[in-house]
Amino acid sequence: MPDHPTVVERTAQPYAAIAAVVTMQNIGEVLPPLHPKLAAWLDRAGASIVGEPFFKYNVIDMERAMEVEVGFPIARAVDGDDSVVTNVLPAGRYATAYHHGHPADLVPAVAALLQWADDEGLVWDMHPTPKGDAWGCRLEIYETNPPADMNDWKTQLAFRLADT
């Protein structure tokens, strides 16, 4: 279960990421390899990483595929290229919670956060599309910059709420 869901204000944050299309079956193959590749790219570009690595879910269809970005927040905007996209994580209100443990156990933690928000009457920055649910900003932030033992990971869930 996530620790104490809450709503927080987040400021806009430039970021760089590598986009990927994954399924629930291969998602674990994407996260670990892409963060070091992106960190090396940012180093070559002279961009400073200013926070923890994250997974950004842009479109989610749990039965088919998910469009995701594997990224880092950066100090200032830089130009991307064919392999790296750059953008800004939007400012706004986010429902957040923490999950401690293996990322394979995130699905129930996410469900608990979604249920908590529903119980609180909160509305997501999300809309349905033919490809799945498109999110304004839905993040898994790996605050332990993942340690070797995945059972020790600390993950912040931060899902943007609709403007009211």
Please write the tens of the pLDDT for every residue from 76-88: 999 999 999 999 9
The CA-to-CA distance between both ends of the chain, in Å, stands at 28
Q: CB–CB of 67/58 below 8 Å?
A: yes
pLDDT of the residue at 35: 83
Q: Which residue has the tokens 């926070």?
A: 51
- Report the C-alpha gap between 124 and 95 in whole angstroms: 9
At 3 the pLDDT is 64
* Fold of the domain spanning 3-160: Multidrug-efflux Transporter 1 Regulator Bmrr; Chain A (3.20.80)
Q: pLDDT for 120-136, tens place per residue?
A: 999 999 999 999 999 99
Average pLDDT of the residues of the chain: 91
Q: What is the pTM of this model?
A: 0.92
Q: Which residue, among 142, 144, 145, has the nearest Cα to 156 in the 3D structure?
A: 142
CA 88/CA 106 separation, integer angstroms = 25
Domain segments of the chain as ranges: 3-160
